Amino acid sequence: MLHYISPAPLTFDTIDRILKEHLQLALSEESKKLICDCKNYLDQKIAASGKPLYGITTGFGSLCKINISPKDLSQLQANLVMSHACSIGTPIEPVIVKLMLLLKAHALSLGKSGVQLATVERIIDMFNHDVLPVVRELGSLGASGDLAPLANLFLPLINEGEVYYKGEIRPAAEVNAELNWSPVTLGAKEGLALLNGTQFMSSHAVYALLKAFNLIKYADIIGAISLDAYDGRIDPFLPQIHAARPHPGQIETARNIRTLLKGSEFQKKDKTRVQDPYSFRCMPQVHGASKDTIMYVASVVEREINSVTDNPTIFMEDDMIISGGNFHGEPLAMVLDFLSIAVAELGSISERRTYRLISGDRGNIPEFLVANPGLNSGFMIPQYAAAAIVSQNKQLCTPCCVDSIPSSNEQEDHVSMGGNAATKTIKVIKNTERILAIELMNAAQAIDLQRPLKTSPYLEDFLEEFRKIVPFNQSDRVMYKDIDAATNFLKYGDFKNFEE
């Protein structure tokens, strides 16, 4: 099946579908016309203009004062890609590279960048054939766009760099030859159009949000299981209290917990305590705040991925080529830092629930959730692991966007550090997934230790699926395997909507 790239906005649902259903891309006729018209306009402007045009007939950054001969304009663009390909360190995940290709193709299809149609079509070919350039996580300042990683992304266009192809990392020139793809001869401004832009940051943001949308669902499900296992009260989730403080995420979380626990035998028991710890009764306030933050971040990121962020920008309708700063990553850097904090808080409160479940302070479940404690350590050390991960998340949540180191001879004297915000956010997302998986292990164990009592029908189905992956812990066994299995359960599980 095909997805046609057009000026119509990309949505998270569309992107998720493209990835999950392995859709192929193609340019719509409207986008082809926009690209070709813009390229023709630029060529005419270069031929007619007696004035220097930044990055088109001049050098880059602080070298913008140097004019370039017309015969060297193509070499200028190739040199730009080669010299800027300085992303280093650990390669980023291929799925994020694929997102970078998709988002760049979409941005160029809006017809304000002055690129050749053949260049955009080659980017789409790379996406469709899973020829995914090796891009590394370090090197972007998130200011003149994501210069270094985007340069690595587009090295294969000029027969340079390396790519993932059919499960191997191979020289791009070899794969191009195998597919009968000739190197692209970059036209005026094309290198700059490819390298300027925020697609490294925004692809990480999209990937992180797609994961976060799942994590906020699982946080409520797992929190509800823990509440029942802890013999917690439903009162703090009743609608009246949340109507008195009507934050949308708070109201949604309370409603979710009530729905998830509908029909639970645990909730029909008489409660001996009048209050639960904050990690249980304040789930609506904490999960809700994270939900509201994630939705705000999503609104900013969706606007960004449908924007033109290279420079200069071409406005044919106004007969203008404007050198501005749409490549600056500040909008993304700030919300990525915010997203990290929101997701980390889901992990922080989750670890506290895990601790309560193993503490033995309720008497309904044994200390460390195991029979014969002493001989068995039970679930003592998974909580250690969760605590260590929570601590790392706190360190990672130091904001990146408040830092700036000038570059390009002070021409670029304020940068966003959004590239670092992007890569650390992925680490926080993965860490939080593991923390929630550890809570699920503990909560499932605590429920099973109180059989024949049953939680709600929905949660019983959920736990039945989980027990196919992670069995009940009768006595001590190797635990990291269970943690990995539980994490994969959250990563790849597909469950019916509990609101149905």
CATH classification of the domain holding 149: 1.10.275.10
**Displacement of CA 181 from its chain's centroid (Å):** 31
Residues 192 and 212 in one domain: no
In this structure, what are the phi and psi dihedrals at residue 36, rounded to the nearest 5 degrees?
-65, -40
**CA 163 to CA 178: how far, in whole Å?**
13
Report d(CA 393, CA 12) in Å as an integer: 25
**Is the domain of 13 the same as that of 135?**
yes
- Token pair, residue 26, equals 């193609």
Predicted local confidence at residue 331, as pLDDT: 97
CATH number of the domain that 222 lies in? 1.20.200.10
Domain that holds residue 139: 2-197
What pLDDT is recorded for position 301?
Answer: 98
What average pLDDT does this structure show over 221-243? 97
Residues 221, 165, single domain; the answer is no
Residue pair 406/414 in contact (Cβ under 8 Å)? The answer is: yes
Question: Residue 88 pairs with which residues in a beta bridge?
Answer: 138
Beta bridge partners of 270: none
Q: Which of 4, 54, 165, 458 is catalytic?
A: 54
User: Span 128-132, mean pLDDT?
Assistant: 98
> Does 103 lie in the same domain as 120?
yes
Q: Is 437 exposed, middle or buried (0-12, 13-18, 19+ CB in 10 A)?
A: buried
How many domains does the chain divide into?
2
pLDDT given for residue 115 in this prediction? 96
Are residue 215 and residue 192 in the same domain, yes or no? no
Q: Is 54 a catalytic residue?
A: yes
Q: What percent of the chain lies above the pLDDT cut of 90?
A: 81
Q: What is the pLDDT of residues 319-339, one digit of tens each?
A: 999 989 999 999 999 999 999
Among 197, 219, 249, the domain boundary falls at 197
Are residues 231 and 159 both part of a single domain? no
Residue 211 lies in a domain: yes
In this structure, are 185 and 213 located in the same domain?
A: no
- Beta carbons within 8 Å of 344's beta carbon, 6+ residues apart: 390, 393, 394, 396, 397, 428, 431, 432
- Where do the H-state alpha helices sit in 140-244? 147-154, 172-178, 190-195, 199-229, 239-243
Considering 197, 213, 237, which residue would you say is the last residue of a domain? 197
| 498 falls within a domain | no
Query: What is the predicted pLDDT for the residue at 411?
Result: 79
According to DSSP, residue 314 is labeled: E
Question: Which residues fall within 8 angstroms of residue 390, CB to CB, at 6 or more apart?
Answer: 344, 347, 348, 351, 435
> Once rounded to an integer, what is the mean pLDDT over residues 26-50?
92
Average the pLDDT over 298-325 and give the result.
94
The one-letter code for the residue type at 35 is I
Task: List pLDDT tens digits, range 50-89.
Answer: 676 666 766 666 566 666 666 767 788 888 899 999 999 9
Q: Can you tell me the distance from the alpha carbon of 440 to that of 463, in angstroms, rounded to the nearest whole number?
A: 9
144 plus 225 within the same structural domain:
no
**pLDDT for residue 59:** 60
**331 and 293 in a common domain:** yes
Task: Give tens-digit pLDDT for 177-202.
Answer: 999 999 999 988 899 899 999 999 99
Q: Is 499 a domain residue?
A: no
Over range 405-434, report the average pLDDT.
92
CA distance 209 to 74: 38
Same-domain pairing of 322 and 395: yes
Domain limit, last residue, from 145, 167, 197: 197
Note whether 416 and 147 are within 8 A (CB). Answer: no
Q: How confident is the model at residue 500 (pLDDT cuts 50, 70, 90)?
A: very low
Same domain, 282 and 427: yes
